[in-house]
Amino acid sequence: MVHPKNYKWFFEVTTPVEGHFHAVVRTIFSLQSKYQEMEILETASYGKCLVLDGRIQSSVEDEFIYHEALVHPALLTHPGPRSALVVGGGEGATLREVLRYGSIRRAVMVDIDEAVVEACKRLLPELHRSAFSDPRAEVRYEDARAYLERTPERFDCAVIDLTEPLEEGPACLLFTREFYQIVADRLTEDGTLTLQAGMTKVNELGFFTALCRTLAEVFPVVAPYQTFVPCFGTPWGFACASKGSDPRALSPETVDARIAERIGGELLYWDGQAHRHAFSLPRFLRRALEGQERVITDARPMIVA
C-alpha cells in the first residue's frame, strides 16, 4: 500500500465550500479543447476517470451505476423503443447502454466536442466498449439544440448526459424550458426522456429541483429519482419525463421481466428493486421538489456554482 503522502492528489470541488480528494496514480492524457478542459486520470480507488473542467464524469470502476441509472428508466418505461437520441455522453457509455436493447434500430449521439469524443474512443475503451462502431449508431459533432431544431426525425427515447452549466454560454440553453419543448417535439407519441440532474445532497438542491420544475412545464409526467455514485462522493439526481408513461407505475417484477426480455446480458446495478428504491425519494427531497417555483428559461438560464 502506497503511503498517502506519496500520491499526487486531485481535489474535485463539488460546491463552493466542499470537495472530494482522489489519489492519482498518473495522468494519462490532458487536452484543452475549443469547449472545455479534459483530463484522463488513473486514480487509486476508481481506476481511469474522465474529468471535464475539473469535475469527474465517469470512472471505470463505478460508471455502471451512473450510466445504468441514467439510461434504463427511459427505455424500460417506453412500450417498445426502436430509436434513441443521446445528447452529450462523450465517453460513449450512455450510447453503449442504449445499444444493449435489441429493439433499437437507430441511435443518434450528438456531442459538440469532437476532440473529447475522439480521445475517449482511443483511451477509454473500457467505457464505450466499441459502441461507436455499432452499425446502428450515428455520431454527430454539433450543437444539440441546433440539430434538434433542424431535424425532422423523431425518437422513441432521448437521454441527455450533459455537464451542468458552470458559466453562461451555449450550454445554458440546453437546460431550459424552451429546449425541453424542442426535445418533446422530437419525441414520438409514447416518447420518454431521461437526464442527469445534478446533486441531491442537503443544501445543494437548487439545480435538481429547478430542473424538475422546468420539465413539468413541458411534460405531463415527470418522475425524479436518485442514486449514489461513489466516485462523485454524493447522491446524484436524475429525472424521467414522458408524454404519458410513468416509470413509478412499473412494479419490480415488471422491471425485471422487461430487462430479461429487452437487454442482452445482465445489468450490474439496475433491476426491479433498484428501480423502486431510486424513485422512492426521502421526505426532505420531496418537500424541496414541491416547494420549487423556479422555471429555467432562455431569458433566465441557471448557472451552477
| Polymer length in residues for the chain | 305
Contact between residue 76 and residue 250 where contact means Cβ atoms under 8 Å apart:
yes
Residue 233 domain flag: yes
Q: pLDDT at residue 136 above 60?
A: yes
Looking at residue 54, its pLDDT comes to 92
Question: Range of 234's domain?
Answer: 63-291
CATH of the domain at 122: 3.40.50.150
Contact between residue 207 and residue 198 where contact means Cβ atoms under 8 Å apart:
yes
Contact between residue 275 and residue 240 where contact means Cβ atoms under 8 Å apart:
no
Contact between residue 175 and residue 144 where contact means Cβ atoms under 8 Å apart:
no
Q: What is the domain count for the chain?
A: 2
Write out pLDDT tens, residues 176-220: 999 999 999 999 999 999 999 999 999 999 999 999 999 999 999
187 DSSP β-pair partners:
155
Among 43, 58, 73, residue at a domain's last position: 58
CA–CA separation, 67 and 44 (whole Å): 21
Mean pLDDT along residues 115-134? 98
CA–CA separation, 128 and 296 (whole Å): 32
Residue 303 domain flag: no
Q: pLDDT at residue 175 above 70?
A: yes
Q: pLDDT at residue 167 above 90?
A: no
Q: pLDDT at residue 288 above 90?
A: yes
CA–CA separation, 234 and 252 (whole Å): 25
Beta-carbon contacts of 289 under 8 Å, excluding residues fewer than 6 positions away, are: 209, 212, 213, 224, 281
Mean pLDDT along residues 153-158? 98
**Which residues have a catalytic role annotated?**
161
Looking at residue 1, its pLDDT comes to 54
233 φψ region: left (φ > 0), alpha (ψ -120 to 50), beta (else) = left
Residue 302 domain flag: no
Write out pLDDT tens, residues 57-70: 999 999 999 999 99
Contact between residue 74 and residue 222 where contact means Cβ atoms under 8 Å apart:
no
Looking at residue 170, its pLDDT comes to 66
Q: Biggest alpha carbon distance in the chain?
A: 57
Looking at residue 256, its pLDDT comes to 98
- Grid cell, residue 128, equals 464505450
- Grid cell, residue 104, equals 433499437
Q: Which amino acid is at 179?
A: F
Question: Across the beta sheet with 234-242, what order do the strands follow?
Answer: 137-140, 106-110, 83-88, 155-161, 187-199, 234-242, 221-229
- Grid cell, residue 169, equals 454560454
The helix (H) or strand (E) run that includes residue 67 is helix 63-77
Mean pLDDT along residues 225-234? 97
Residue 216 domain flag: yes
Looking at every residue in the chain, the average pLDDT score rounds to 95
Looking at residue 187, its pLDDT comes to 98
Residue 238 domain flag: yes
Write out pLDDT tens, residues 264-274: 889 999 999 99
Residue indicated by cell numbers 439510461 = 71
Residues 130 and 82 in one domain: yes
Write out pLDDT tens, residues 138-149: 999 999 999 999
Residues 215 and 131 in one domain: yes
Q: Which amino acid is at 292?
A: Q
Q: How many C-beta neighbours within 10 Å does residue 13 have?
A: 12
Residue indicated by cell numbers 424541496 = 288
Percent of the chain clearing pLDDT 90 (strictly above): 92
Percent of the chain clearing pLDDT 70 (strictly above): 97
Mean pLDDT along residues 277-285? 98
Write out pLDDT tens, residues 99-112: 999 999 999 999 99
The Cα-based distances of 299 to 176, 177, 180, 206, 226 in angstroms read 9, 10, 14, 18, 29
Q: Sorting pLDDT into bands at 50, 70 and 90, what band is 120?
A: very high
Mean pLDDT along residues 243-249? 96
Residue indicated by cell numbers 478542459 = 37
Residues 19 and 101 in one domain: no
Mean pLDDT along residues 227-256? 97
DSSP notation for 86-118: EEE-TTSHHHHHHTTBTT--EEEEE-S-HHHHH
Looking at residue 15, its pLDDT comes to 87
Residues 73 and 43 in one domain: no
The Cα-based distances of 37 to 31, 50, 113, 232 in angstroms read 6, 11, 11, 18
Looking at residue 3, its pLDDT comes to 65
Total-model pTM = 0.96
Q: pLDDT at residue 169 above 90?
A: no
Q: How many C-beta neighbours within 10 Å does residue 135 have?
A: 6
Residues 35 and 166 in one domain: no
